[in-house]
Amino acid sequence: MITEIEDENDDPWFHEMKEISLRKETLLQSQLEIAAENQLLLQQMIAEQRQLRILQEATQASVAKLQADQAEATKKLLKISGTLEVLVLESRQAQLNKETEGVSFNPSALLSSTRTNESEENSTQMREINETLQTLLNKSNDGVVGNKIFVKRNYSLSSKTQIDLWLDLLKSELRTHNLVEFIEKNNFPNLSSEEIKNNKQIVRDIITNRLEPIYHKRVLNIVEPIDLIEKLKEMKRIESNITATSIRERLYCLRRSPKETAIEFIDRFETLTNEYDKGHKERMSDEERASIFHHCLGETCPELNAACIVASRTGSDLGYEEMKNSFLQIEASKSKRNEKTPRVNAASVPPIEEIVCYRCTKVGHYASSCPLVPQNLWFCYSCNEIKRHNSKNCPNQCQNSASR
């Protein structure tokens, strides 16, 4: 019996079927893990959508309440204005009456009396108006300016902050206050000189409040917001050592790694070219951009090299966008071919109905689950029937060998 078990372990069919079974279990486990991850992502998306809906409802309620408070404050102000008009009319009528009766009129006494009456009748209303206006001011500072809603962000320009990201956040904040144009241009024909001066001062204060001290102290003497932004850009370029020569050197040394996708490589390449364009008045030409891109890819994409050769022979060299799109299409077609190729190099697993058991020669099961296993029986190919031995240990085969 031990010999038969050893024979079973040495049988190549047994090992192959065992390997296939293990691979099937591994694939099934991977599918279960992927399904669990998808379920978790779906739950997270649902939770985020619910949270977003709650925030939107809260924002709408806040805006509605703010508008109601503004309307109430307007009503109270109109009421006070009407009361003051009545008092003025009464005082004028009293003055006319005094003059008609020939009695000397004392304007100081009348004014004093008017002020006393006004103070007594409207002191409570004025306090309510002040409280309402203060509430509206606080709500505006909390994130609502007019009908515009914005989200507060705590950001500042530091040595680790990218200037592009910082500028985007700054423009978002200035746009909320309708001041973004003061860092983009110098001419404002529709504003008075005093308004321009005040707005520029506000913009400068906002910018300096978003700077770390190491940058703030280097722009203390700059007044104009546009000059301030340009100075900060120059400082960040110097920190990053971004010059025409350095960027070209980094571009020509750029290479695509074996496991890097096409999108990842293009993102790295365009990050460097965008830095060059932002730091210099003259943008990199399309021909140079395409040439450097082709050089950086090297031999990692021979299909693109062939396309460039064909285009060159026809007299129409590929531009950068054409070359990039061709590269993306080539990589996409490669991915589709890889998906069609099975991950396992072993023979494909047939359905269970086509499986032939090499222990009993029946179909529908593997040898490990054969009904002959509990009885320790085998189909002997030498005897051509079920026996307690297999063809390797068949006594008839041994006798035939001995007689020879």
Strand runs labelled E in 88-154: 144-145, 148-149
pLDDT, tens digit, for every residue of 53-93?
888 888 888 888 888 888 887 788 777 777 777 777 777 77
Six-digit token pair at 3?
Answer: 């010999």
How many CB atoms within 10 Å of residue 195? 11
DSSP calls for 258-310: TT--HHHHHHHHHHHHHHHHHHSSSPPPHHHHHHHHHHHHTTS-HHHHHHHHH
> What is the pLDDT confidence band of residue 346, given thresholds at 50, 70 and 90?
very low
- Fill in the DSSP letter of residue 391: G
Question: How many Å apart are CA 205 and CA 182, to the nearest integer?
Answer: 12
Question: Looking at per-residue confidence, does 6 or 377 come out higher?
Answer: 377
- Give the H or E element holding residue 100: helix 12-101
For position 105, what pLDDT does the model report?
Answer: 45
Q: Would you say the pTM of this structure is higher than 0.75?
A: no
pLDDT score recorded for residue 104: 47
Provide, rounded to the nearest whole percent, the portion of the chain with pLDDT above 90.
Answer: 2
d(CA 53, CA 43): 15
Q: Are 44 and 369 in contact (CB under 8 A)?
A: no
CA distance 197 to 319: 47
Average of per-residue pLDDT across 160-173: 85
User: Which of 24, 8, 130 shows the shortest CA–CA distance to 346?
Assistant: 24
Q: Which residue has the tokens 């400068």?
A: 204
Identify the bridge partners of residue 145 per DSSP, sorted by sequence position: 148
The model's pLDDT over 9-24, given as tens digits with 9 standing for 90+, comes to: 566 777 777 788 788 8
pLDDT (0 to 100) of residue 32: 82
More confident residue, 233 or 136: 233
Q: What is the mean pLDDT of the chain?
A: 76
Q: Which of 188-202, 217-231, 371-385 is the least confident region?
A: 371-385
Give the CA angle between residues 91, 97, 102 to the nearest 5°: 130
Amino acid identity of 74?
A: T
**How far apart, in whole angstroms, are the C-alpha atoms of residue 140 and residue 288?**
51
CA distance 250 to 298: 15
Comparing 287 with 186, the larger pLDDT belongs to 287
Phi, psi (deg, nearest 5) at residue 349: -85, 120
pLDDT bracket for residue 129 (50, 70, 90): low
Which residues face 261 on adjacent strands? none
Calculate helix-pair angle for 163-176, 225-240, nearest 10 degrees: 160
Sequence-distant (≥ 6) Cβ neighbours of residue 218 within 8 angstroms: 231, 235
Select the more confidently predicted residue: 234 or 315: 234
Highest mean pLDDT among 5-19, 125-139, 265-279: 265-279
Nearest Cα to Cα of residue 280 among 249, 242, 250: 242
Render pLDDT for 214-271 as a digit per residue (tens, 0 to 9).
Answer: 889 888 899 899 899 988 888 887 776 666 677 778 888 888 888 888 899 899 888 8
Region at 319 (left for phi over 0; alpha for psi -120 to 50; beta for the rest): beta
Q: Any idea which residue has 């909390």 for tokens?
A: 142
pLDDT computed for residue 202 by the predictor: 92
Check residues 47 and 400 and name the one with the higher pLDDT: 47
Which one, of 85, 126, 86, 87, lies nearest residue 110 by Cα? Answer: 87
